[in-house]
């Protein structure tokens, strides 16, 4: 029975701290595209770019992050971690495809491309986006393989909301040039930009390379800052490559 003093059951529950909780405040997230693909996620690719005999380029491209496209039909698993607080993603790439890329275009390593889209959250309009590239990585590589110390390159894409990774080779026919890929707008060196392009180098000797082994990993923590209503917020995402 309704009690005019105590109020309705719903009112009593609300007064006691029950009812529908307020929505979680989300300034923005890193995602694979504007709306349809995975959230708290990025895409990645290994790319072997070598000059062909015809004077153009051969681009062997292994898209391994989102599990829906690309040559490796890769897959990702997602989670969270702390110190620092971040979302996490383990993306698979097949060692057999890495070896096959060398057989097609025998270059002694591959570039590591990454892409993402900054989705606005529920706290207001986003502005002043700033992608920050990790200055170093952690890895458990074997067979003599290693992450190449990165070159500083052009930072022309560091303030873009849309840095979606193209699903395909990054080459121009006839000229040995770089087509923008994801967060990277250019391979041009830019000392002091603090925007780094990583690579993966094979072990072994010329003509008999060795490649990452099954269960080897490479981990990158990406940071994005952006303003919401005049306040700067920071989101971090860890992208872990796992060879299978």
How does pLDDT run across 99-154, given as a tens digit for each residue?
Answer: 887 877 777 888 888 999 999 999 999 999 999 998 779 999 999 999 987 788 88
Q: How confident is the model at residue 226 (pLDDT cuts 50, 70, 90)?
A: very high
Scan for tokens 């269960």, then name that residue. Answer: 215
The yes-or-no verdict on residue 215 having pLDDT over 90 is yes
Q: What is the Cα–Cα distance from 90 to 218, expressed in whole angstroms?
A: 10
Average pLDDT of every residue of the chain: 79
Considering only CA atoms, which of 180, 130, 186 is closest in space to residue 160?
130
For residues 218-231, give the mean pLDDT: 95
Distant-in-sequence, close-in-space partners of 121: CB < 8 Å, separation ≥ 6: 25, 26, 27, 28, 29, 228
For residues 45 and 113, what is the distance between their CA atoms, to the nearest angstrom?
5
Beta-carbon contacts of 216 under 8 Å, excluding residues fewer than 6 positions away, are: 139, 140, 141, 142, 145, 242, 243
Is pLDDT above 90 for 163? Answer: yes
Percentage of residues in the chain having pLDDT higher than 70? 76
Tell me what pLDDT residue 135 has: 75
The values of phi and psi at residue 28, to 5°, are -170, 165
Number of other residues whose CB lies within 10 A of the CB of residue 124: 14
Kindly tell me if the per-residue pLDDT of 15 is higher than 70: no
Asked which of 7-16, 24-33, 42-51, 60-69 is least confident by mean pLDDT, the reply is: 7-16
Q: pLDDT grade, residue 160 (50/70/90)?
A: very high
pLDDT of residue 29 exceeding 80, the answer is yes
Q: What is the pLDDT of residue 211?
A: 93
- Kind of pairing, strands 146-152 and 86-93? unpaired
Residue 204 has pLDDT above 60, yes or no: yes
Bridge partners, 240 (sequence order):
90, 219
Task: Calculate mean pLDDT across residues 4-20.
Answer: 48
pLDDT at 158 over 90: yes
Instruction: Choose among 98, 94, 87, 92: nearest CA to 75.
Output: 92
What pLDDT does 71 receive? 39
Q: Is the pLDDT of residue 13 over 60?
A: no
Structure tokens at 33: 């595209």
| pLDDT value for 61 | 60
* pLDDT single digits (tens) 44-100: 888 776 554 444 445 556 666 544 444 344 567 889 999 999 999 998 888 888 888
- Closest by CA to 162, choosing from 68, 22, 43, is 43
**Counting every residue, how long is the chain?**
244
Lowest mean pLDDT among 27-31, 112-116, 205-209, 217-221: 205-209
The strand pairing partners of 151, in sequence order, are 197
**Who wins on pLDDT, 193 or 86?**
86
């Amino acid at each position: 029975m309704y009690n005019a003093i105590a109020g309705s059951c719903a009112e009593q529950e609300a007064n006691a701290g029950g009812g529908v909780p307020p929505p979680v405040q989300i300034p923005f997230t890193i995602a694979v595209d504007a709306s349809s693909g995975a959230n708290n996620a990025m895409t990645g690719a290994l790319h072997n770019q070598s000059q062909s005999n015809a004077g153009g380029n051969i681009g062997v491209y292994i898209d391994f992050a989102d599990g829906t496209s690309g040559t490796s039909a890769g897959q990702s698993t997602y989670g969270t971690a702390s110190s620092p607080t971040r979302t996490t993603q383990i993306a698979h790439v097949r060692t057999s495809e890495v070896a096959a890329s060398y057989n097609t275009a025998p270059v002694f390593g591959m570039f590591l491309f990454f892409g993402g889209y900054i989705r606005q959250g529920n706290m207001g309009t986003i502005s002043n986006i700033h992608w920050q590239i990790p200055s170093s990585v952690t890895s458990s590589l074997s067979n003599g393989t290693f992450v190449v110390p990165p070159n500083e390159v052009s930072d022309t894409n560091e303030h873009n909301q849309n840095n979606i990774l193209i699903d395909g080779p990054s080459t121009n026919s006839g000229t040995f040039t770089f087509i923008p890929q994801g967060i990277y707008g250019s391979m041009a060196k830019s000392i002091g930009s603090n925007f780094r392009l990583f690579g993966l180098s094979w072990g072994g000797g010329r003509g008999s390379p060795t490649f990452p082994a099954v269960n080897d990993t490479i981990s990158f923590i990406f940071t994005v800052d952006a303003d919401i209503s005049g306040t700067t917020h920071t989101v971090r995402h860890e992208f872990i490559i796992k060879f299978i």
